């Protein structure tokens, strides 16, 4: 069990206080510690601008508000507060080196009200060395949510043609810690298009039932070693046709957590990327979303 703290970023917004509540519950459930950080961004001096004095760390109203918000809560984990100076995105991402989890609100005090996730949250999810959890605003609705039985539930996306070990391991561990069942969304392309001639496509002769059955079989094989390590986790493979992001967003309704992987670097795209599916889930999911970096040596 990791002894690293759960790190949560606060900025005085309601979104960050919701993230703080989520982080407290998570640290408490793991018998771990909590680190509350506020990144204080201020303008540096230039000849054409007045000198801006850095804020006094001892007079940080954001951290004071966070302390007041948590005051009197029962079962509080060991908690430390830290004020950090610098550009928010890079400073938060750097906290991932010393965190079990990095927890953020969906949007902070800056930016446009129409944005569902701020640029600093995207930067941290893309660059942090640890899993990053983004806690959305309450009441977000999704379309096409499937009916599911009540109770704790963790959702994870699985690419049967390129599974991510770190993502699956994190999802199984979270499900075990939460005593939750694990819904595994394995999307497959459908309809499959076959090219007969330039600008001419024909429907394949393979049946959708066959593709779905093969996807389920592959998923079961990939999940087998994780089932052995987590025998108490109830696993529900869910082969689904079409858009993986759409299915994950739909499954987020009522879920405790949705787990997605961060995009691996590619030869022609060496920079870190979130990937289109991860980005869409972050922007639209109704539940908290965990973005898991690849295992060491895989990125």
- Written as tens digits, the pLDDT of the chain (299 aa) is 568 999 999 988 898 999 999 999 999 988 899 999 998 876 444 444 444 444 554 678 999 999 999 998 999 999 999 999 888 888 899 999 989 999 998 864 444 333 334 567 778 888 899 999 999 988 788 877 777 888 999 999 999 988 889 999 999 999 999 999 999 999 988 776 555 555 555 555 678 888 899 999 999 999 999 999 999 999 999 998 988 999 999 999 999 999 999 865 444 444 455 678 888 898 889 999 999 998 765 55
Which CATH number does the domain housing residue 239 bear?
Answer: 3.40.50.12370
Domain assignment of residue 43, yes or no: yes
Same domain, 71 and 11: yes
Question: Which residue do the tokens 């977000």 mark?
Answer: 140
Same domain, 162 and 79: no
Q: Check residue 65 and give its pLDDT.
A: 94
Q: Which three-class secondary structure string do you get for the chain?
A: CCCCCEEEECCCCHHHHHHHHHHHHHHHHCCCCEEEEEEECCCCCCCCCCCCCCCCHHHCHHHHHHHHHHCCCCCCCCEEEEEEECCHHHHHHHHHHHCCEEEEECCCCCCCCCCCCCHHHHHHHHHCCCCEEEECCCCCCCCCCCCCCCCCEEEEECCCCCCCHHHHHHHHHHHHHHCCEEEEEEEECCCCCEEEECCEEECCCCCHHHHHHHHHHHHHHHHHHHHHHCCCCCEEEEEEECCHHHHHHHHCCCCCEEEEECECCECCECCCECCHHHHHHHHHCCCCEEEECCCCCCC
Number of domains in the chain: 2
Nearest to residue 134, comparing CAs of 293, 292, 289, 281? 289
Nearest to residue 110, comparing CAs of 89, 136, 139? 89
Q: Check residue 145 and give its pLDDT.
A: 75
Q: Check residue 19 and give its pLDDT.
A: 94
Same domain, 131 and 170: no
Same domain, 159 and 287: yes
Same domain, 219 and 257: yes
Which CATH number does the domain housing residue 126 bear?
Answer: 3.40.50.620
Domain region containing 116: 6-135
Work out whether strand 181-188 and strand 200-202 pair parallel, antiparallel, or are unpaired.
Answer: unpaired
Domain assignment of residue 299, yes or no: no
């Amino acid at each position: 069990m990791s002894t690293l703290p759960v790190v949560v970023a606060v900025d005085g917004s309601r979104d960050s206080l919701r993230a703080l509540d989520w982080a407290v519950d998570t640290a408490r459930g793991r018998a771990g510690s909590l680190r509350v950080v506020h990144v204080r961004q201020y303008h540096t001096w230039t000849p054409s601008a007045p000198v801006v004095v850095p804020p006094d760390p001892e007079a940080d109203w954001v951290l004071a508000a966070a302390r007041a918000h948590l005051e009197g809560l029962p079962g509080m984990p060991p908690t430390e507060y830290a004020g950090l100076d610098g550009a928010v995105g890079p400073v938060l991402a750097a906290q991932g080196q010393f965190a079990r989890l990095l927890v953020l609100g969906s949007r902070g005090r800056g930016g446009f009200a129409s944005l569902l996730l701020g640029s600093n949250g995207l930067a941290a999810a893309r660059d942090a060395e640890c899993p990053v959890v983004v806690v959305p605003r309450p009441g977000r609705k999704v379309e096409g949510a499937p009916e599911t039985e009540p109770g704790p539930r963790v959702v994870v996306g699985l690419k049967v043609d390129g599974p991510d070990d770190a993502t699956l391991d994190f999802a199984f561990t979270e499900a075990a810690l939460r005593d939750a069942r694990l819904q595994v969304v394995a999307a497959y392309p459908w309809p499959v298009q076959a090219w007969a001639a330039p600008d001419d496509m024909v429907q394949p002769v393979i049946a959708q039932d066959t593709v779905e059955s093969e996807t389920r079989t592959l998923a079961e094989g990939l999940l087998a070693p994780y089932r052995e390590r987590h025998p108490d986790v109830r696993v529900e493979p869910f082969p689904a046709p079409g858009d993986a992001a759409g299915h994950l967003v739909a499954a987020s309704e009522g879920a405790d957590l949705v787990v997605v992987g961060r995009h691996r670097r590619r030869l022609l795209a060496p920079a870190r990327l979130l990937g289109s599916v991860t980005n869409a889930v972050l922007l639209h999911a109704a539940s908290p979303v965990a973005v898991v970096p690849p295992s060491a040596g895989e990125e």
